[in-house]
Amino acid sequence: MDNVKVYIGNRQVLKGVTLKVYYNTIFVIMGPSGSGKTTLLRVINRLIDVVEGARVEGHVKSARFLT
């Protein structure tokens, strides 16, 4: 993820998230209630696309690795 911003309606709910997760690692997303964890997961899984009024700015890239 590079500089990802999420808006729902006129409200900005994620502000400039940059994240790199390396292949074959365990990654944890933790934080207080209301900090945007679920929204971040929705962006990664493309479930944010079904949220009415949601808009995503920035880049989300995925890579496939052959094992």
pLDDT, tens digit, 9 for 90 and up, residues 10-62: 999 999 999 988 888 898 999 999 999 999 999 999 999 999 999 999 999 87
On whether residue 53 sits in a domain, the answer given is yes
Distance CA 18, CA 20 (A): 7
Task: Classify residue 66: in a domain, yes or no.
Answer: no
Q: Which of 51, 56, 41, 46 is nearest to 6 (CA)?
A: 56
**b (16+ CB within 10 A) / e for 30-58:** eeeeeebeebbebbbeeebeeeeebebee
Length of the chain: 67
Q: How far apart are CA 8 and CA 2, in angstroms?
A: 19
Q: Is residue 24 part of a domain?
A: yes
Q: Is residue 64 part of a domain?
A: no
The whole domain housing 35 covers: 2-59
Please give the pLDDT value at position 64: 63
What per-residue confidence (pLDDT) applies to 30?
Answer: 96
What pLDDT is recorded for position 65?
56
